[in-house]
């Protein structure tokens, strides 16, 4: 741009990028209006949690959802972080069917990591944008009532009941609850619970519009070795057939089960997204194309 002469104003011409940003906002508008006042539960984990840049991006996205009137609840795990601390303490982890055998000492480490470290880090990251996030454990106010999954696994639990009153109270105060997945039985015994399971159960108890799972893959793939085989939209009936045909198996099954349980509890849609992609939650919710896999009940429509 040429130098302006004294006393002569020069009009600023928006760049192509500025026009593109405006188009994005226009595209997002109907989705913002649609989801205003609705509850969305986001399960946060994988590489998105351990990469500093992705963690900062995730926090900004959650704050943006909150700013446009969406009631956001974050549920997180922390398996890798628990494993790292156990290793530093010289304790060898034993796994059965993909689950860590959790004795009393391991449970103490899990509580320390999930409640005292991971949860606080997420809350702090969100709160760099304002005093918005509040950390919770499933033990708080009886949020997650648990029972033992299998005596051989020790203090690994399943969700028996969700009492969402404390979460609903925080949402009513325009706050963002961040939930770590330690639950307790009626005797006060704590259990470590799979975060995917908690997210689905909590979404159902809150009558959420959506539950979103951030994973380390693009979504559901018909061929795990072919990213182009992404299933953009599906329903519970097709999912059951894909499992029966062994198209879906392994580590995705717990996430899929949690999605199906949430749908059965009345959640409108479950999403599986690649948490390694910056702003993936916004891309899925606020753009026409979407970027991951959306699962609905067979009778539902988008």
User: Predicted confidence band at 9 (pLDDT cuts at 50, 70, 90)?
Assistant: low
pLDDT at 52 over 60: yes
pLDDT (average), residues 111-135: 96
Q: List pLDDT tens digits, range 228-253.
A: 888 999 998 999 888 888 887 766 78
Compute the chain's Rg from CA coordinates.
21
Q: For residue 240, with 0-12 CB atoms within 10 Å meaning exposed, 13-18 middle and 19 or more buried, which class applies? A: middle
Cα angle 122-124-128, degrees, rounded to a multiple of 5: 120
Query: pLDDT: is 288 or 11 the higher one?
Result: 288
pLDDT at 301 over 80: no
CATH topology of domain 36-296: Carbamate kinase (3.40.1160)
pLDDT at 300 over 80: no
> Quick one: tokens of 115?
């409640």
Lowest mean pLDDT among 43-52, 111-120, 126-135: 43-52
> Quick one: tokens of 152?
């051989």
Q: List pLDDT tens digits, range 28-47.
A: 899 999 999 999 999 998 77
pLDDT at 8 over 60: no
pLDDT (average), residues 125-149: 96
Locate the domains of the chain by residue range: 36-296
pTM, two decimals, is: 0.90
């Amino acid at each position: 741009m040429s130098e302006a002469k004294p006393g002569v104003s020069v009009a600023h011409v928006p760049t192509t990028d500025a026009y593109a940003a405006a188009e994005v906002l226009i595209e997002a508008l109907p989705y913002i209006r649609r989801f205003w006042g609705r509850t969305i539960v986001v399960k946060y984990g994988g590489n998105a949690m351990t990469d500093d840049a992705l963690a900062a991006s995730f926090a900004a996205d959650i704050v943006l959802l909150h700013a446009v009137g969406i009631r956001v609840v974050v549920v997180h795990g922390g398996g890798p972080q628990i494993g790292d601390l156990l290793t530093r303490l010289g304790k060898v982890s034993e796994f059965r069917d993909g689950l860590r055998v959790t004795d009393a000492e391991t449970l103490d480490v899990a509580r320390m990591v999930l409640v005292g470290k991971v949860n606080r880090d997420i809350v702090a990251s969100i709160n760099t944008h304002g005093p918005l996030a509040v950390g919770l454990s499933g033990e708080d106010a009886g949020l997650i009532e648990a029972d033992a999954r299998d005596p051989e696994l020790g203090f690994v639990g399943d969700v028996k009941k969700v009492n969402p009153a404390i979460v609903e109270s925080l949402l009513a105060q325009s706050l963002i609850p961040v939930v770590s997945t330690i639950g307790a039985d009626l005797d006060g015994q704590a259990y470590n619970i799979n975060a995917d399971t908690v997210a689905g159960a909590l979404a159902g108890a809150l009558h959420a519009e959506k539950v979103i799972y951030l994973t380390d893959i693009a979504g559901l793939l018909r061929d795990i070795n072919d990213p182009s085989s992404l299933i953009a939209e599906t329903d519970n009936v097709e999912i059951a057939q894909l499992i029966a045909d062994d198209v879906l198996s392994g580590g995705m099954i717990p996430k899929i089960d949690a999605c199906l349980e949430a749908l059965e509890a009345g959640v409108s849609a479950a999403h599986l997204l690649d948490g390694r992609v910056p702003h993936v939650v916004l891309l899925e919710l606020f753009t026409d194309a979407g970027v991951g896999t959306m699962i609905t009940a067979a009778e539902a429509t988008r």
